[in-house]
Amino acid sequence: MKIPFIKAHGAGNDFLFTFSRDLPGDVGVKQFPEVAKAICHRNTGVGADGWYLVDRIVAAGAHASVRLWNSDGSKAELSGNGTRCVCAILVDQGLAPEEVHILTGSGIKIATLERRDEQGLWFEMEMGVPVVAAGNLRVELSLSTGLHDATVIDVGNPQCSLPVEDFEFDWKAVGGEIENLRRFSPAKTNVSFFHKVSDRSIDVRFWERGAHHTLSSGTGSVGAAVTAILRGMVESPVTVQTEFCPMTVRWDKPVDPVYLTGPARIIARGEFEY
């Protein structure tokens, strides 16, 4: 069977998008995790960090609702980069205005188109009010590397952010260890490692549950920036330097929503033989 897709990436974090109306009728809900694993496979599929099903709706004041599966077939509540890509697709097809409302697994997210350039469409998106776990900024983790000072935070999905001096260690292995700690079971967690570049800038590396190493992460950028702000390391707005390109996180007050600005670019359309 043929599964149509649109491929887009947000700051190098790539996703595949299928409108539910275009999905073959013999693909049932129980097959969605397997479809995600197959279509996202880097060698035998199209290749992506995750697969979205997009539903055009009017209810709840949204222009569309989305469901997201990671490349390993697990379900995810939210992707900041992926949601911007949905917005770019809707705006590109004339299905939404420049202020786009998307119903995600973490509620409605509102993204406003700021500009267009060679990197795609740049949106500022309201990501909600971040919630620090148990009101405690620092959580002790027992890791063989000695990295133990972390902040556990919810930014629409679970994040664990660690300040580091540099990235000259096997941070991917550490990320995988943290992801699977009993504390985060059974949902697991996303992990970001960051270090301060200046009073308004951090450099970040990402380990995402269900996708592992990604070039960038929207929610991970928010988690790292919020952590750095709370610790007094930086001030808002924060430039988040990812492995692909910079994004901006703005958080004015602890009781306010946090805003993420970054690009989304549509790069391919086609059909996947499933």
- Nearest-10 Cα torsion for 215, 218, 221, 226: -170
- pTM value is 0.94
Fold of 2-128+263-273: Diaminopimelate Epimerase; Chain A, domain 1 (3.10.310)
Domain ranges of the chain: 2-128+263-273, 131-256
Take residue 94 and report the two structure tokens written for it.
């004339």
What is the spatial distance between Cα 1 and Cα 27, in angstroms, rounded to a whole number? Answer: 9
Which residues does 250 contact at the CB level (< 8 Å), separation at least 6?
124, 236, 237, 238, 258, 259, 260, 261
pLDDT tens-place values along the chain, 274 residues long: 899 999 999 999 999 999 999 998 888 888 999 999 999 999 999 999 999 999 987 677 899 999 999 999 999 999 999 999 999 999 999 999 999 999 999 999 999 999 999 999 999 999 999 998 865 556 666 666 666 688 999 999 999 999 999 999 999 999 998 999 888 999 999 999 999 999 999 999 999 999 999 999 999 999 999 999 999 999 999 999 999 999 999 999 889 999 999 999 999 999 999 9
**Phi then psi dihedrals of residue 232, to 5 deg:** 75, 20
CA angle in degrees (0–180, nearest 5) for 216-222-226: 140
Beta strands, E only, 96-189? 99-104, 107-117, 120-126, 131-132, 139-140, 149-154, 158-163
Please, what CATH class does the domain formed by 131-256 belong to? alpha beta
Q: 2-128+263-273 and 131-256: same fold? A: yes
Take residue 108 and report the two structure tokens written for it.
């409605």
What is the spatial distance between Cα 213 and Cα 243, in angstroms, rounded to a whole number? Answer: 11
